[in-house]
């Protein structure tokens, strides 16, 4: 049963100007972008791109592409051809470096502006999703919360990484899945597959949602008695066509199949080792351990990752109880924030506040998911599967706030739904405990 509410036009001419601004997704985008641009220049975050000792593999790969060394050397030493990350975002970095200068401040500004534009446009997508599934009130406040969301501001205006682009792409795919319900147009399904291919080449973890979104669309075609096999098969072919050039490149340079990226072994070992406590251990991560980097210089990237994967699996097999405890901790840290001690830092009041904020959003989103389940809103399956299945890979490797960010647009929608439902929930709870008078009482 779809949740329906009246949706008055946000463009009504008799509304006050402030009201029209508040209800306008265009203004959400404009304000969100303005806030992020101010952050870039006030904080000077564009200066953080530098060639000395950088462990930002995205930037290092972009640098290698820009100077003509191909997709290689993700860290500060020469390690040869790489598939350490998906290729799309390092390629964008290389374009900025070529156009505005390698490691230049201008290139840093351009890259952060690009991420800020992605984050700002996400306001519009968040508004559209919430308005379609819930109502205008949830849509308006979800859009504004995202516009001023501290983590979104930080990741888009303070970090050269694919994080904001990933959040934007996944939210667009979520919205497109809703909008394509019952649509059997082959052209639309091809476009849908192309966008999923772009998402996979940006952040492979996003594909955890692909089977569920695709099956949801196929099911609704089946319910309506529309052709299902042709759209599904064609979209699958198009998706793999988008990925094929990169997969062929990987096979050519490594001499073996590599699906998009090859660093899973490194991530698995960083989270599962004798020092593991639920977060990534720097001593077991190539980007932080010089001795592992030395191994890279003499061995191929897939080989060193395969060895790390074998070591991690052997440790898990020898310590199954410890592994389950770590998975439980990683579940908690994914939703409540990783303790500061994972970087060896003292726990401060500011860091505690960040984790409390992180946890509060998770609890509110869980409450919103419960409200959606109770009301049986249309599209519930998409919210549930996204929340359940996207984080699974991080429960067995290790979580960080950046890893969760791609699904935070949907979490914010659910959190706002829960908060906006408080008055109705309060009335229902009051009615449960209010004494009922007998019909014959006077």
- Tens digits of per-residue pLDDT, 153-162? 999 999 999 9
Residue 175, pLDDT > 70, answer yes
Decide if 32 contacts 146 (C-beta within 8 A).
yes
| Cα 282 to Cα 291: distance, rounded to the nearest angstrom | 12
Average pLDDT, the chain: 89
* Integer Cα distance of 265 and 312 in angstroms: 8
185 domain residue, yes or no: yes
Q: Classify residue 233: in a domain, yes or no.
A: yes
The answer to whether 71 touches 262, Cβ cutoff 8 Å, is no
194-214: pLDDT as tens digits: 999 999 999 999 999 999 999
Return d(Cα 105, Cα 40) in angstroms, integer: 11
Domain membership of residue 84 (yes or no) is no
Whether 246 is in a domain gets the answer yes
DSSP code, position 421: T
| pLDDT score at 6 | 40
Kindly state whether residue 423 falls inside one of the protein's structural domains: no
For residue 176, the model assigns a pLDDT of 97
pLDDT in tens, 335-379: 999 887 655 454 566 677 888 899 999 999 999 999 999 999 999
Query: Is the Cα dihedral 253, 258, 264, 269 positive or negative?
Result: negative
Long-range contacts of 186-191 (CB under 8 A, 24+ apart): 186/230, 186/231, 186/234, 189/231, 189/232, 189/234, 189/235, 189/238, 190/234, 190/235, 190/238
Q: Which residues does 37 contact at the CB level (< 8 Å), separation at least 6?
A: 113, 116, 157
> Which pLDDT score, from 0 to 100, does residue 435 have?
55
- Record the tokens describing residue 67, joined without a space: 């100077």
Q: What is the CA radius of gyration of the chain?
A: 24
Tell me the torsion sign for CA atoms 81, 85, 86, 90. Answer: negative
Q: Which two tokens stand for residue 382?
A: 């998409």
- Where is average pLDDT lowest: 121-125, 133-137, 173-177? 133-137
Residue 179, in any domain of the structure: yes
> From the CB of residue 297, how many other CB atoms can be counted at a distance below 10 Å?
10
| Structural domain includes residue 227 | yes
Task: Please say whether the dihedral angle defined by the alpha carbons of residues 396, 402, 405 and 406, taken in this order, is positive or negative.
Answer: negative
162-177 per-residue burial string, b: 16 or more CB within 10 A, e: under 16: bbbbbbbbbbbbbbbb
- More confident: 271 or 299: 271
Q: How far apart are the first and last CA of the chain?
A: 40
Kindly tell me if the per-residue pLDDT of 9 is higher than 60: no
Task: Over range 77-89, report the average pLDDT.
Answer: 92
Domain range for 191: 164-259
21 sits in which H/E element: helix 17-22
Contact 92, 112 (CB under 8 A): no
Q: Largest alpha-carbon pair distance within the chain?
A: 92
User: Could you tell me the pTM of the whole model?
Assistant: 0.91
Query: Is the per-residue pLDDT at 243 higher than 50?
Result: yes
- Residue 67: pLDDT band (50, 70, 90) is very high
pLDDT given at position 162: 96
**What integer pLDDT is reported at residue 434 of this predicted model?**
55
* pLDDT on residue 12: 46
pLDDT digits over 13-61, tens only?
566 777 788 889 999 999 999 999 999 999 999 888 876 545 689 999 9
pLDDT for position 441: 44
For 260: left if phi > 0, alpha if psi spans -120 to 50, otherwise beta; the answer is left
Comparing 5 with 299, the larger pLDDT belongs to: 299
Q: In whole angstroms, give the CA distance from residue 119 to residue 319.
A: 41
C-alpha to C-alpha distance for 333 and 359, rounded to whole angstroms? 9
**Quick one: pLDDT at residue 17?**
73
Q: How many CB atoms lie within 10 A of CB 300?
A: 18
pLDDT the model gives residue 286: 85
Task: Average the pLDDT over 283-299 and give the result.
Answer: 82
Q: Is residue 147 part of a domain?
A: no
Dist. CA 90–CA 201, nearest whole Å: 11
Using CB atoms within 10 Å of the CB of residue 22, give its burial: 0 to 12 exposed, 13 to 18 middle, 19+ buried: middle
d(CA 20, CA 15): 6
Q: Tell me, what's the pLDDT at 11?
A: 47
> Residue 64 pLDDT more than 90?
yes
The helix/strand/coil state of 10 is: coil
CA atoms of 296 and 286, how far apart (whole Å): 9
Q: Which phi-psi region, left, alpha or beta, contains residue 73 (left: φ > 0; alpha: ψ -120 to 50)?
A: left
2, pLDDT greater than 50:
no
Signed CA dihedral, 370, 373, 375, 377: sign only: positive
> How many structural domains is the chain composed of?
1
According to the model, what pLDDT value does residue 139 have? 96
Determine the average pLDDT of the residues in 427-434: 56
Contacts of 231 (CB under 8 A, 6+ apart): 184, 185, 186, 189, 218, 221
């Amino acid at each position: 049963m779809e949740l329906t509410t009246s949706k008055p036009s946000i463009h009504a001419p008799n509304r006050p100007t402030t009201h029209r601004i508040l209800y306008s997704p265009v203004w959400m985008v404009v304000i969100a972008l303005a806030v992020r641009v101010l952050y870039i220049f006030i904080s000077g975050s564009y200066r953080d791109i530098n060639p000395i000792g950088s462990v930002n593999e995205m930037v290092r790969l972009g640098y290698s592409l820009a100077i003509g060394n191909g997709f290689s050397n993700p860290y500060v030493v020469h390690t040869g051809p790489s598939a350490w990350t998906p290729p799309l975002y390092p390629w964008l970095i290389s374009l900025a470096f070529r156009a505005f200068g390698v490691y230049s401040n201008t290139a840093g500004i351009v890259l952060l502006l690009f991420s800020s534009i992605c984050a700002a446009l996400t306001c519009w997508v968040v508004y559209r999703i919430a308005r379609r599934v819930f109502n205008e009130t949830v849509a308006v406040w979800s859009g504004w919360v995202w516009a001023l969301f501290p983590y979104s501001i930080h990741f888009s205006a303070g970090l050269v990484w694919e994080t904001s682009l990933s959040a934007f792409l996944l939210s667009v795919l979520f919205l497109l899945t809703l909008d394509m319900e019952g649509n059997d147009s082959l052209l639309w399904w091809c476009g849908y597959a192309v966008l999923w291919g772009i998402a996979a080449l940006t952040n492979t973890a996003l594909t955890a949602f692909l089977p569920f979104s695709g099956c949801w669309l196929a099911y609704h075609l089946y319910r309506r008695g529309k052709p299902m096999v042709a759209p599904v098969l064609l979209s699958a072919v198009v998706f793999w066509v988008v990925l094929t050039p990169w997969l062929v490149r990987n096979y050519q340079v490594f001499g073996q199949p590599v699906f998009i990226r090859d660093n899973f072994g490194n991530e698995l070992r960083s989270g599962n080792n004798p020092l593991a406590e639920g977060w990534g251990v720097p001593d077991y991560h190539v980007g932080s351990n010089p001795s592992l980097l030395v191994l890279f210089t003499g061995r191929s990237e897939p080989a060193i990752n395969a060895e790390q994967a074998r070591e991690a699996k052997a440790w898990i097999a020898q310590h199954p109880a410890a592994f389950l405890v770590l998975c439980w901790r990683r579940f908690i840290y994914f939703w409540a924030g990783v303790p500061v001690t994972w970087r060896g830092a003292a726990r401060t009041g500011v860091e505690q506040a960040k984790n409390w904020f992180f946890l509060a959003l998770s609890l509110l989103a869980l409450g919103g998911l419960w409200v959606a389940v109770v009301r049986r809103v249309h599209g519930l399956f998409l919210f549930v599967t996204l929340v359940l299945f996207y984080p699974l890979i991080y429960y067995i490797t290790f979580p960080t706030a950046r890893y969760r960010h791609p699904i935070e647009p949907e979490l914010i929608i659910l959190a706002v739904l829960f908060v906006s439902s408080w008055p109705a929930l309060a009335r229902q709870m009051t009615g449960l405990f209010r004494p009922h008078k007998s019909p014959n009482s006077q």
